[in-house]
A = this chain, B = another copy of it.
Amino acid sequence: MARTTGSHSDITGPRIQEAALRLFAQHGYAAVSMRQIAREVGVQAGALYNYTPDKQSLLFGLMQDHMRALLATWAAQPQGRDAGAVLEAFTRFHIRFHLERPDEVFIAYMELRNLTPENHAAISDLRGRYEDALEAILKRGVAAGLFDVADTKIATRAVIAMLNGVNTWYRADGRLSQTEVETTYWDMVRKAVAPA
């Protein structure tokens, strides 16, 4: 046999990405074989190489797509008036965006060490830009006397780490709605950066 009925690049391509995403998130990049991904798609392992030059590119593509989508979506978000409003928007946006993409988030944070140095640098750069976006908000707020933090760089990382934590425990069928979670976290973020 060779080409099967109903085979199409537009279908197989995305399906490979979806399968790789799910399997990488579940078992880890190193523990997933190309044959497992292929089986999930319903294809032989060799066919994957019509869509990716190698396994590493598959991982890098997923992470890059995720980080770019994160930056682009935040950039397209309506901006508030003062720094306080923008920080609230950022907090709620971050939680919402990340809860919608648990697998992408998991991979983006766990599989950095499996990237080649060049790819690692590229993803780190994108992550740096996202952190810069938050730090700019904090700096604005500090300058306006709305916020008081000892170190904007540390505060940036602390806030992001805190918000990222949501993904490790939130379940859609849990006792709290997503909006309630957003509000609870915004409450803590707001107080953490507020003047004493």
Contacts and interface: CB of A to CB of B under 8 A. Distances in A.
Contacts of A19: none
Interface in A137-188: 149-151, 154-155, 157-162, 164-165, 168-169, 176, 181, 183-185, 187-188
Interface of A: 26-28, 30-31, 110, 113-114, 149-151, 154-155, 157-162, 164-165, 168-169, 176, 181, 183-185, 187-189, 191-194, 196
Contacts of A187: 150
Copies in the complex: 2
A161 B157 contact: no
A20 to B, nearest CB: 15
B28 A188 contact: no
